[in-house]
Amino acid sequence: MRTIMPTDGFRESMLAGLTRRPRAVPCKYLYDAEGSALFERITELEEYYPTRTEIGLLTDQGGEIAQVVGAGARVVEFGAGSMRKTRLLLAALEAPAAYVPIDVAREPLLLAARRIAQVHPAMAVAPMVADFNHPLVLPPDADGDGPVLGFFPGSTIGNMMPGDARDFLRRVAKLVGPGGRLLVGVDLTKDPHVLETAYDDSQGVTTAFIRNLLARANRELEADFDIRAFDHRAWWNAREGRVEIHLVASRRQAVSVAGRLFAFRRGDTLHVEDCYKYTVEQFRWLARLGGFVPEHVWIDSAQLFSLHMLRRG
């Protein structure tokens, strides 16, 4: 089981994000080892419906998904995380030939990949510690004649601005090649109260997850953020069609990060994540712009979440 390493870029992104106006840092830096563990706790919360709903769809529709994909597939997962959903997909597929999980969090990725390899000893497992927002090529371990299936669960595509999501889809279309497909989870537009509650739970786990960005800066960049002096806020932006997540300074303060000083006034924000929501037709339109032909869509009975099967156009 071979591992491919990237450059992280956290220091440069954090300094650039604190310098620009409005301040913003890419959400991928939330997912260090501590952040990944906190996010797994979020997925178990009552308010956070996407994970259990998507798992239900994969469980119920696994047979139909396998029929569409065919035997001997090479599965490439973008943002693998704990691979809980991957286990359902791989179990449903007929004799998958290879699995390439891609994630920026090295230790959780390698641990989960080893567990997958134990369950599927005949399948090549080639984890890539990499940022899927950049062009990628399949590793030699994933060579073969079977169809390539991209897997992008969790509505992570909603963390991208629509233009960036289109560009991501174009890169994936190039990666999966002729005859390749992408199975992608997409959160649907719904009641704003349901959306906002999903990103601001009553137990405060989401707050700890978002604040972990500052804790990570303290650990890795010699920063001195007073973490409790920043509140976590999530709200529905109807015009943009997204939930916005910010850290908001509760008092005036000066913060040192990697030897540079940054001033915050009370009420100043640091934009850390966007979660775009789509109707089925909106996402199918986006998929076409990204070089895919929409084939199938599966939706739960409560109309909360969708799974789209896309074929390279």
**So what's the pLDDT on residue 5?**
39
In a domain, 226, yes or no: yes
pTM of the model: 0.90
**So what's the pLDDT on residue 122?**
94
In a domain, 2, yes or no: no
Q: Give every strand in the sheet of 242-249, ordered side by side.
A: 230-237, 242-249, 269-276
Both 171 and 237 in a single domain?
no
Determine how β-strand 181-187 pairs with β-strand 305-312. antiparallel
Mean pLDDT of all residues in the chain? 93
Separate counts of helices (H) and strands (E) for the chain? 9, 13
Cα–Cα distance measured from residue 34 to residue 209, given in angstroms and rounded to the nearest whole number = 8
Cα–Cα distance measured from residue 285 to residue 282, given in angstroms and rounded to the nearest whole number = 5
**Residue 156 DSSP label:** G
In a domain, 4, yes or no: no
Both 282 and 308 in a single domain?
yes
Both 249 and 265 in a single domain?
yes
**So what's the pLDDT on residue 267?**
97
Structure tokens at 166: 């289109």
Both 65 and 139 in a single domain?
yes
Both 272 and 304 in a single domain?
no
Cα–Cα distance measured from residue 93 to residue 139, given in angstroms and rounded to the nearest whole number = 21
Both 56 and 138 in a single domain?
yes
Structure tokens at 112: 């989960």
Residue 172 has pLDDT above 90, yes or no: yes
**So what's the pLDDT on residue 82?**
73
Taking only the tens place, the pLDDT of each residue in 83-130 is 889 999 999 999 999 999 998 778 888 888 999 999 999 999 999 988
In a domain, 209, yes or no: yes
Give residue 237's domain range: 10-46+201-276
In a domain, 89, yes or no: yes
Both 71 and 98 in a single domain?
yes
Which of 279, 46, 39 lies closest to 158, judged by CA? 279
Taking only the tens place, the pLDDT of each residue in 265-288 is 999 999 999 999 999 999 999 999
Q: Which residue spans within 169-264 are E strands per DSSP?
A: 181-187, 230-237, 242-249, 253-257, 260-264
Taking only the tens place, the pLDDT of each residue in 135-163 is 888 888 888 889 999 999 999 999 999 99
Domain count, the chain: 2
